[in-house]
């Protein structure tokens, strides 16, 4: 399927999460088909000299075509350094959202005005980051806690052995965090604690304002993507991730059943078809 640039399409903005939505690590590929039927893969991220994240070759071609026909905006919880390791097909996006909305990149550079605005909002309504980090680490079990990290001095995450983390602990820590203006999300082996005002949708609204886009397509897999998907005119989620596990839905959402890297390809295929037909 080929998406050709047209004036009507230039008013469309595509906002997509990266990890486990658009790009996939080895552990997340879910190549369950026979080896001789597996899709050809393109590496889009290298870390410490090793290939880390992939898309299918067909997805790569569609991403490049979507980027030519729309304002294509990666929207990720990754830090800026982690985002800059990713090289998607096509020209570098003019806008990118990092740190779950804490940083807006314009032509690869941080928009300081946006970042300062976000920090003021978080400081006014949320418990201090140091307090949250201390509580999470003190109440985590060393048997399943592997690392604790601070990202961009904006939010924290724990690297855990997911299968060993009790669901009751996640429920308790989520309630504690909510009372202090923070939200908790478990994605793969990372448990995130993020200030409630630090959202992808707020940064998306700023990009929409600057581009003048009059319709938005979005995709994501985690609870931290829910506000992004709600802000779109049409949205997709894969058959894996927190949103799929909880059965999260919305009237304008297409809930796919496909999992792994094949879901990433299907998402951009559906986006391209939507553009062609709308």
> What mean pLDDT do residues 251-255 have?
97
pLDDT for position 6: 42
> What mean pLDDT do residues 134-138 have?
97
Q: Give yes or no for residue 147 having a pLDDT over 50.
A: yes
> What mean pLDDT do residues 93-97 have?
97
In percent, the amount of the chain with pLDDT more than 70 equals: 96
Q: Give yes or no for residue 274 having a pLDDT over 90.
A: yes
Q: Give yes or no for residue 86 having a pLDDT over 80.
A: yes
pTM to 2 decimal places: 0.91
HEC string of the chain equals CCCCCCCCHHHEEEEECCECCCEEEHHHCCCCCCHHHCCCEEEEEEECCEEEEEEEHHHHHHHHHHHHHCEEEEECCCCHHHHHCECCCCCCCCEEEEHHHCEEEECCEECHHHHHHHHHHHHHHCCCHHHHHHHHHHHCCCCCEEEEEEECCCEEEEEECHHHCCHHHHHHHHHHHHCCCEEEEEECCEEEEEECCCCHHHHHHHHHHHHCCCEEEEECCCHHHHHHHHCCCEEEECCCCHHHHHCCCCCCEEECCCCCHHHHHHHHHHHHHHHHHC
> What mean pLDDT do residues 144-163 have?
96
Q: Give yes or no for residue 4 having a pLDDT over 80.
A: no
> What mean pLDDT do residues 174-199 have?
95
pLDDT for position 5: 47
pLDDT for position 7: 42
Q: Give yes or no for residue 132 having a pLDDT over 90.
A: yes
The pLDDT tens digits of the residues spanning 32-68 come to 999 999 999 999 999 999 999 999 999 999 999 999 9
> What mean pLDDT do residues 161-167 have?
94
């Amino acid at each position: 399927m080929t998406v050709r640039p047209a004036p009507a399409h230039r008013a469309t903005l595509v906002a997509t999460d990266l990890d486990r939505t658009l790009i996939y690590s080895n552990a997340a590929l879910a190549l369950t088909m026979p080896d001789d039927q597996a899709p050809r893969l393109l590496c889009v991220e290298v870390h410490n000299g090793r290939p880390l994240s992939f898309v299918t070759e067909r997805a790569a071609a569609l991403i490049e075509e979507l980027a030519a026909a729309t304002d294509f905006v990666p929207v990720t919880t990754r830090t800026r350094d982690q985002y800059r390791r990713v090289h998607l097909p096509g020209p570098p996006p003019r806008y990118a959202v990092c740190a779950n909305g804490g940083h807006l990149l314009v032509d690869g550079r941080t928009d300081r005005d946006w970042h300062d605005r976000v920090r003021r909002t978080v400081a006014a309504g949320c418990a201090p980051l140091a307090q949250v980090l201390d509580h999470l680490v003190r109440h985590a079990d060393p048997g399943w806690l592997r690392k604790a990290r601070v990202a961009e001095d904006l939010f924290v995450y724990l690297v855990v052995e997911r299968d060993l983390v009790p669901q009751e602990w996640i429920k308790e820590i989520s309630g504690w965090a909510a009372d202090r203006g923070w939200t908790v999300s478990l994605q793969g082996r990372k448990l995130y604690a993020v200030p409630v005002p630090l959202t992808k949708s707020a940064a998306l609204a700023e990009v929409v304002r600057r581009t003048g886009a009059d319709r938005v397509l979005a995709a994501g897999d985690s609870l931290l993507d829910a506000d992004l998907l709600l802000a779109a005119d049409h949205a997709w989620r894969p058959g894996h991730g927190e949103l799929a596990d909880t059965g999260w839905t919305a009237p304008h959402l297409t809930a796919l059943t496909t999992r792994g890297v094949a879901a990433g390809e299907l998402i951009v295929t559906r986006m391209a078809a939507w553009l062609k037909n709308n």
